[in-house]
Each structure stands twice: as C-alpha cells, then as structure tokens.
Chain A
Amino acid sequence: MNTIITALFKKEPQFPSEFEYLFEKYCRKGGGSEEERLNKAMVFRNYYELYMYAFFLGIRKKKSIKWKNRNKDKSTTNAWNVENWKPKQLRDYLVCCVLGEANIPLREYDLMSEKEIANKSSQLMTIIEEYTYGGLSILDKTFQSDKNYFDETFAFTDYVFE
C-alpha cells in the first residue's frame, strides 16, 4: 500500500504555460554547457530546480494562486516526478512544508484507505502547484518590469535574501 509520501512522489507537478518562457530562459535543458550557463545566466540545472525555487518563493511570500484553467494551460517540468528531485533533503523539506500547509493531523494519513491516500496526494500536489504559481507570478512581474533583471549576477540569490 502507498503511503501519502510515496503517492506524492509519484506525481508530476504542472505549472501554467504562460511561465514557460522563464523555464526556457533560465534553465539548462539536458544539462547545457558551463559556458552557456554563465553567458546566459542559466542558473538552474533542470526545470524542477526553478520549480522548487518558485515554490519556496511562494511559501516565503505567502503567495499561493488558485489555478482555474489547470486542465487547459498546463505545462510540465519535463517529465520529472517529485521522487527524482534533488537534493533529496530539499525535496523532503518541500514535502514537510506541503504537509505543514495542508495542516491535516498526520495520524489521519495512517488511517486512510488506498483511495483516500490517492485523493489526498492530489490535494497536496495542488498546494505545491498553487504556491509555485504564486512564486512564478512574482518572478514574471519582476521580469516584465525589467527584462534584464535576472541577467545580473546573483539576481536569483539576492531574491532569496531580500
């Protein structure tokens, strides 16, 4: 039987397709060369890194956005389900945050049936996607006001500490 964690790990999170350009611009696809990364400010090694970055930004700014047209305009993090995200400690910390945000007594998960676990894991994924939506919209707003903002050295790092 699946635990809530293993059920969540099997899921592949989505994000609104309007933010695809951020992933295209700041993530290396398939690794990318070191030179390309430095020259093009490709800070993130994978799509899921930017995804995690945006999720934590949403958490930090307490901004989660309901995603109304999810089924119409979704994009994926390049077929990487949560289980494959690295570093693993960061992935697990992310799950802690999601469980914290869901605020369901943990004992309840023990008592859930397989079907209930599956439903609940979908709800937890919605929490992840909504905070990520919040984070991505913050990044988008900054980018739209200054298209070169994230080309500056340490722009993404500074954003974490501002």
Chain B
Amino acid sequence: MKITKITLENFLCYSGKDNIIKFTDGINLVLGANGYGKSKLYDAFNWLFFDRITNQKGEPIGTVTLSSNLISKKTIEETTDGEIECKVILELETEKEGFQIERKYSIRKEDEKLFPSEKSDVKVFIKNELEYLPHELPVDSGFLDFVRDNIIPIDILPHIWFQGERGITKAVDTSSGKTLHQVINKISYIEMWQRYVDIADNANNRIKTIFDKEARKSSRKKKTREALYTKIEDLQTDLNKNSKELASRRKDLGSVNQKIDNISLNAEAQEKISNLKLEEEKLTNNFHKVKEELDALIDSADRNLFDSFWVINKTQHSANSYDKLYSDYIYEKQREINEAKENLPKIPRGNPTATHLNKMIIDRHCHVCDRPAPKGSDAYNHIEKLLPENYPSPKPDSREYIHDSEFKKMSQIQIGLLLNIDAFEQESEDLTTNYYKKEDKRVELKEKLENIKDKKSLVLTDAGLENLDSGVQIGKKYKNLSEQSSNLNNTIGRLENSILADNKEKEELEEKYQKSFAGEIDEKLTKQMKFFKSMLTATKHAKESQFLMLVKLLEEKTNQHYENINKESGAFYGEIKFHKNHTEGYTARIHDADDVDVTNNMNTSQILSMQLSILFAILSTNKEKGLNKKYPLIADAPNSSFDPEKRKFLLREMGRTFDQTIIMMFEYLEKDPDRQNRYKVNTKALKALKTEMKGSGIGVNIIHLDIPNNINPKKLQELSITQNHLKL
C-alpha cells in the first residue's frame, strides 16, 4: 500500500478545498510548527479509516461527539446560511489496485445556529485507467472489513501509525511482558506449530483407540491384562486430576507473581518517578531560566525604544531640518560678527582706549594687529595689562545670542543620536532573533516537561500507585504474597514430580500391557503407536524451540535497528535483551557491557529508540510477511526527545526500514525573521539531510505547513493552512 495524495476540505483547521498533500516513496517530511496543522493531518488519516480522532490525552473521540468541531471554524464563520461540508479524500495504491477513499461530514447553518448531521459517510472508489469509479461496499460487511481485506490489516495499524511518544509507548509497552508475547505470536507461525501438536495428539489418540479395540478382542491372560488396564486407567485418572490441579496452581502462581510484580513495579515505579522528578526539576529550572531570559529580552526591547533611542527611527527628516536651521544660525552669527568687526573704527596703533581694550578681551582678538588673542596667551596678557586697574572687568554681551549654547547643545545631541540610527534596525533584528531562539527553547522545554508529566502519570497508572497503601502495608502484602508463591511453587513441584512419576509408571505399564499382546495384535499397529507417540513429543519440542528462536530473532533485529539509530550519536546505548518473566511473556531491557540491567538509568530518547526499534523489528522480522515494505509508516512527532544528530539517524533508519514513511514534525523549522510569528524551513539543514539520505538511497519529500501572513493564528475563525511542496 502506498499513499499518493490526501485532500482535506474544511477539515479541522484546514479551511477551503485546496488543501492537497502529495506523497512519494521514501520519507515524506511534513513540517509544521505547533498549531500549524500537523496533528490535524494525522487526525485526518485516523478519521478517514476509523471515524474518530484522538484527543490530547490519546483518547478516541468519534464524529458524533466532535460534531461541528470537525469543520473549519473559518468556513463556518464565512458561510452565511446553508450546508457546510468537511471531507478527507485519500488516494492510495495497493499491489493490485488503486483506491480513493472519501469520508465526509456536514452541518447546516441557519440564523447563526448549527444543525449537525448524525453521522459521517464513507465512500470507496476504485481506479480504472482514467478515473476512479464508485465501489459499492458489500451489504453484509462494513467499511473496516473492506479495508482489512483490500488495503491494510487493521491489527497492525497501532504498530505503524502512531502519534507522539505516547503512541509509541502504547504500541510497544516495554514494561509489560504481555506486549512482546503478543508481538511474537503476531509475527510467527506459532499457531501453525500448535496445529501440528494437535494433529499429532489426534493421531496418537486414534491409533490408541484402534489398539484398545483390537486388545478387547483377545481373551488370553484376561485377568492380568484387565488388572494392568485398570491400573493404567487409575493412573490416567490421577494424571488428569493432577494435571488439572497443576494447571490451576500454575494459574494461581501466575496471578500471585503478577501481584508481586506489581508491588516490585511499584518500587520500580517509585524509582522511575524519582528519576523523572529529578529530570523534571532540572527542566523546570532551565525553563524558568529561559523564561527569565525571555522576559529580560522583552524588557530590553521595550527599554531600547527609549534608552537606546530606537523610537526615533526614520525621523531624520525632522532632525535634519533643525540641522539646517542651526547651520544657518551659525552662519548668520559669524556673518554678524564679521560685519561688526568691519564696522569697528580703526584703532590707532599703540594707542587703544580702555573701551577698545575691553572689546579686544571680549573678542579674544587683538584689533590692533588683527590676530587672535586667546585667554592666557601673551597677546591676551599684554592687552589685559594695558587696561586701567579700576576699569570694570569685561563681560561678554550674551543678550544678542541668547540661544546659542542651547541650540549648540541640541545640535550635538541630534548629531550624536543620528550617528547610530542606521544600526537600530540591525540591533532590533538581533534582539528578535535571539528572543525567538530562546522562545523555541522554551517551547521545547515546555513540551519536554509535559512529556515528563505524561510519563509520570503513565508510570503511576501502570503501577496502580493511586491506590497504594502505606509502605508498611506494601511490605506486609509482599511478605504474604511471597509466602503464597513459595507454597504454590512447592505444590507445583510436588504435582510435577507426581505427574512425572505417574507418567513413567503409566508408560511402563502400557509397554507391559502392549507386550502382553505380542503375537496376537498386528505388529504394524504396535509400531504405528510408537511412531505417533514420538511424533507428539517431537512436535511439542519443535513448538517450544520455534518460539525461543523467534524471541532470539526479534531480539537480534531489534538490536540492529537500535544500533543503527544510536551508534553514530556517540552516546552510550547498550544492548537490548528480552527477559523471560513470571508470566509467559518477555520484557525488553537495556544492558551495559558488563551485562548489568541499566534500563532505569536511560534517558527518554534511549527508551523511545528502543521502543521504535522493537516496532521496526516487529514489522521487518518476518521476511515472508514483509509488513514494513508493504505498508507506510505514519508518525506524528515521534522524535521530540531526540537531538538533531540522533533524529537524522532515526529518519535514516525509518527510510531504510519502510518503503514509505510519512512523518510530521516541528524540527527543521526556525523563526522567520521577515514575518512576524511565522516559521521558515531551515534550508541548510534540510539540504544536508536530503544529501545524506540520498547517500543511503532514500528519497525525501518535504511539505511545509504554513499560515498566511495576514492571519492571526490565535483566531480559529480566521485560521487556514497552506501546504508548500518544497524543491530544495
């Protein structure tokens, strides 16, 4: 099955009819920031097949509950009255045929009131050479039967379509033995081996019936044989009774061990919770630190408006007018001084009056020899000496240029401010870029924190910690259960020994009984009996060893995927081992080089990469089924805990394992400096990814989900999403 195209019409945030995303082989990266329609795209796949979507807690919500919420708020807002329809159309190809599946739902709007339909409708079309023709679904089977028979086995969907880290954990719960046991049954031919065991058992019983029938015809040594037969029958009765009791005791033991497991799990859970709390504390500190830095940056931007004078940006025209006025003022002043100088009467050389001397001191100029006489110079001192001692000290006449010093100061300030004005825009841009980098970090930390909260709640739910009694009671409960377990083990051991001994005795008696018919019953029949008995034993062994082999195979494949994702990251990752547990299942754990179980010390991304590796192995282990090559992987944000390098290796492993992968993610996007509150793709990183994937023979198709510039993303009644297929 290959998905080629999805069309979303007025579905959730996808307003309008032109929301088309085309998919190719290889990796399809659907990039969208939070609130840009990534998860809604995943919901579209879910809704199309199952008539439901999942809420933030991972709980399913059906069409009836969702009702008008399924339809774009913008479309509802813009429609005056009448029918409003939302639709998801999926085009796909299987090995045999091409299909188009369409699910739609409508509401009626009248006088601002909404009247929802009772259900959605689904239609199937089959592709002929030119077009899709309607296909009537059989009356006696539903849409899902059609999907199961023609498109994809429904039971594998949780393993290849999942949403977020919670979805992965739901698909492969590595803390429960049950999941792995179910998985092994799913990928193996264990059912077939059980059938062989049943066939051998039937054949054995049939031949035994024939022998007994023949035996009854003989009249020789009747009494001895009857006594032997009765003894065999008595032994069989005992065996049946003991086997029944053994099965019952084993069941009891399983249940007691499960309870012990739960209590151990509680202890383990508490350790996990404590580790998660530590991680949470660290993240919370970082979160607050980043938040403080963000607040400081906002404050800094606000302050820079005034303290760094950003507010005067593009006001130079007014300031320049002042500059011109001030230049004219200075020129005028100079002109007036020069004019006054020219009008000054000539001073007779060597005979200046006190008035002349006073004027020369004010002007700092010797008008006799027409040269400057700055204060402190010889010329100035000489002029000062010539002034009569009782003459009032000279004061400059500032009345004429009363504004001079103020205008000069303003001009200097104006020049000073305008000097830096060209740098304001860059300064602001730098600050904004820095802010959005930190904002991304804050969002990332917030998501991680929410993730940890989810994990904590999962651990608590799994361990039933909400109902936990005090530690003392747990201890008592544990002791009590341990005693029960020990007693049951003793009983089981006794029963097993008894069954073993009875079986041995029964076999000996049966051999004696059969031998007593030597010469009377056909030897061929006796040989057949021996053959079928050994066949029964052999098939039972084969079934057990086949199961073990599959566990080993799955473990091996899981480790291959795990290594491919983690090896090049340089961090410790260890080896995955499947532990047989008290019940009949297996639990996946991570071991270090000294074979120590270090699972509880591993971080989120390592646990996730283990779970993903098991998922990949489930689908790729059985080569005959080759599920990974037949069906596409669809994942919404499976990698938020992965660092960029590891994310790349994960994508590569997805590309290698699956023929088609559709993955929605936030990564590879960055704040767009040219558009307020919008994101652009990180072209450099994507080009590098494409080149690297090409080297591994994996094609990458990139779709960027965006929101038009003029729309406020916070207003649902305005929201629409565009889909840009990028050619890098």
Which residue numbers of A lie inside 8 Å of B, CB to CB? Answer: 1, 3-5, 34, 37-38, 43-44, 49, 52-53, 56, 59-60, 62, 86-87, 89-90, 92-93, 95-101, 103-107, 109-110, 146, 148, 152-154, 156-158, 160-161
Contacts and interface: CB of A to CB of B under 8 A. Distances in A.
Interface stretch (B1-9, B47-55, B328-336, B506-514): B328-336
B312 A110 contact: no
Interface of B: 295, 298-299, 301-302, 304-307, 309-315, 317-326, 328-329, 332-333, 400-404, 406-407, 409-411, 413-414, 416-417, 424-425, 428, 432, 435, 676-677, 712, 714
B318 A100 contact: yes
B320 A52 contact: no
A34 B300 CA distance: 13
B321 A38 contact: no
Contacts of B302: 43-44, 156-157
B315 A60 contact: yes
B90 to A, nearest CB: 37
Nearest to A131: B318
A122 to B, nearest CB: 17
Contact of B318 (A1, A53, A101): A101
Contacts of B333: 107
Nearest to A57: B311
Contacts of B307: 87
A102 to B, nearest CB: 9
Given A56-B315, A96-B319, A97-B315, A156 B403 contact: no
Given A148-B712, A153-B435, A53 B329 contact: no
Nearest to A54: B311
A98 B458 CA distance: 66
Nearest to A149: B712
A97 B329 CA distance: 16
B329 A107 contact: yes
Contact of B403 (A52, A87, A97, A109): A109
Contacts of B428: 157, 160-161
30 contacts: A1-B402, A3-B406, A4-B403, A5-B406, A5-B410, A34-B299, A59-B318, A86-B306, A89-B413, A90-B312, A90-B417, A93-B417, A95-B410, A96-B413, A97-B315, A97-B319, A100-B318, A100-B319, A101-B321, A103-B321, A103-B325, A106-B403, A107-B333, A110-B401, A148-B712, A153-B298, A153-B435, A154-B435, A157-B301, A160-B428
* Interface-central residue, B310, B312, B320, B435, by most chain A CB under 10 Å: B312
A90 B322 contact: no
A90 B400 contact: no
A145 to B, nearest CB: 11
A54 to B, nearest CB: 10
Given A100-B322, A100-B325, A105-B325, A3 B403 contact: yes
Contacts of B676: 152, 154, 158
A97 B322 contact: yes
Q: Which 10 A-B pairs have the closest CB atoms?
A: A100-B321, A100-B322, A97-B318, A106-B329, A96-B322, A96-B414, A100-B318, A59-B315, A60-B314, A92-B413
